Structure 1
Amino acid sequence: MHEIFRSLPWPFEQAEFPSNLGAVVQWTVANGEAPALFVGHTGDNSWLVGDGVNDPNVPGACAAMCIWSAIDHNSSMRELADLPIGWAAERDAPGDPWRRAPFQLLD
């Protein structure tokens, strides 16, 4: 196991997610139970990965882990390494294109 970081200087070298980048990832995505349908790059340069279906705010639904825990099950996420700060990408199903748009976390 190696150390992970909540945020790293962006843009990433070679437009590739660093191996030690941490993210808040829903367990359903991390364990391959559900596909990643939402990826957010927050205003504070943090990353979020969700299944777009289950409530990520339920206690125990998410954990801080290496973003590659989600990419391993969702290889198309690799194309999102250039997602600007304050933007999110969503898709309806695996294999669908990612739609990008600005977003803000709700208080």
Structure 2
Amino acid sequence: MPVQPADWLISSDIVDEVAFRVDIPGDDQGKWIVSFLPPEVRLTEKQALTCMELAEMVLLALESPVDSLDLEFARIRVTELGLSLEDLMWLLAARSTLLRDGSAPQASGSSAPA
């Protein structure tokens, strides 16, 4: 599996995002921070793992078509985070090096100025 959980870090072979556990003493100790979410958002380990898995699903979908079953599965899983799939996609798009480098698949049709 491309998502690689460890005691304090969850990383991926596919996306440039990570999740890490807060280990400093305080109310947030043991909670998780995910790189593409706002820094004040603290999650459980299960939620952080879900974030990373969904990030992979969304970014892999840029390279190949996603069938409706996969899309519905992603919509169900993202509810564990209190987000919509669209919100998650926007958060990922804002940070994606794939999109910034211009290597994402181009939409068909002509939207170029004449």
Q: Which of 1 and 2 has higher RCO (CA within 8 Å, sep 6+)?
A: 1
| TM-score normalised per structure 2 | 0.24
Normalising by structure 1, we get a TM-score of: 0.25
Structure index of larger Rg: 2
Structure with higher helix content: 2
